Amino acid sequence: MTPPTPQRLVRTAFTLAAGAALVIGTAAQAGPITYNFDTTIVSTNPTGHLQSNTVRGTITTDGTIGVLAANNIVTWQLDLIDNLAPAKNYTLTLANSSLVVFSGTALSATATDLLFDFGGTGEVGIQANNPGPFSGWHYFCFSTGVFACLAGETISPGYIFDDGAVLTGANAPVGVVPLAPPANPGTVPEPGSLALAALAVLAAGAARRLRPGSGASTGGVRRQ
């Protein structure tokens, strides 16, 4: 049998590496990923007076990479902070609040960030269970303006008409915007890195097999 040429070995290495990238690119991370939030909005709320609100905390996903669905959100702890009236501060947790609205395909994740496409279609809203969903109390929402929230971001530690800060209109985020970097990035390497590593290993093996004295011969007969 004629041994493979160097060119054929390199082509094989590239093919296997590309295949590895395709397979790995669709996989989830090894475990949950927790993303940090620390966003402040300064705006005039619907009543016209100045508001300065901050959302600080975490959202944890199941580790899925790519477009996220509601069931990919595992838990959260979000401190809604009214910087002008601290008595109105509120913390949203899995125990006292719910993912009251989730629609579209605008929310996505990488191993290093949670992203929202404000040019797409969708929204994500977390709100306190008391007094209840769509009551106007205690919520954080980012949206393209398709249903429950204004386009942009809304932070309401208390009641939206008293202390809600809205980043909307001309000041609204545009395009794909990183919402939160992870607190504990996944440990699985990116698909491109894995593909390059596979290519390097295969190329090294090819070079070793072609090196004089490696056991390969030009006549297809192994040296003893």
Each residue's pLDDT tens digit, 46-57: 677 889 999 999
How many structural domains are present in the chain?
A: 1
Residue 219 lies in a domain: no
CA distance 201 to 191: 15
Residue recorded with tokens 């619907």: 46
Q: Which long-range contacts (CB under 8 A, 24 or more apart) does 3-6 make?
A: 3/216, 3/217, 3/218, 3/220, 6/206, 6/210
Residue 191 lies in a domain: no
Sheet architecture: strand order including 33-44 = 33-44, 50-61, 73-82, 90-93
pLDDT of residue 64 exceeding 60: yes
pLDDT in tens, 5-27: 444 443 444 444 444 443 444 44
Q: How confident is the model at residue 166 (pLDDT cuts 50, 70, 90)?
A: confident
Q: Judge contact between 95 and 129, C-beta under 8 A.
A: no
pLDDT of residue 222 exceeding 50: no
pLDDT of residue 199 exceeding 90: no
pTM of the model: 0.69
What secondary structure letter does DSSP report for 169?
G
CA distance 201 to 204: 5
CA distance 91 to 126: 11
Residue 167 lies in a domain: yes
Residue 74 lies in a domain: yes
Residue 78 lies in a domain: yes
Q: Judge contact between 123 and 141, C-beta under 8 A.
A: yes
Q: Judge contact between 178 and 115, C-beta under 8 A.
A: yes
pLDDT in tens, 105-146: 999 999 989 999 999 999 999 999 999 999 999 999 999 988
Tokens of residue 195, six digits: 């593909």
CA distance 68 to 82: 29
Question: DSSP of 9-71, one letter per residue?
Answer: HHHHHHHHHHHHHHHHHTPPPSS-EEEEEEEEEEEE-TTSSEEEEEEEEEEEE-S--EE--GG
Residue 63 lies in a domain: yes
Residue 112 lies in a domain: yes
Q: Which domain holds residue 63?
A: 33-180
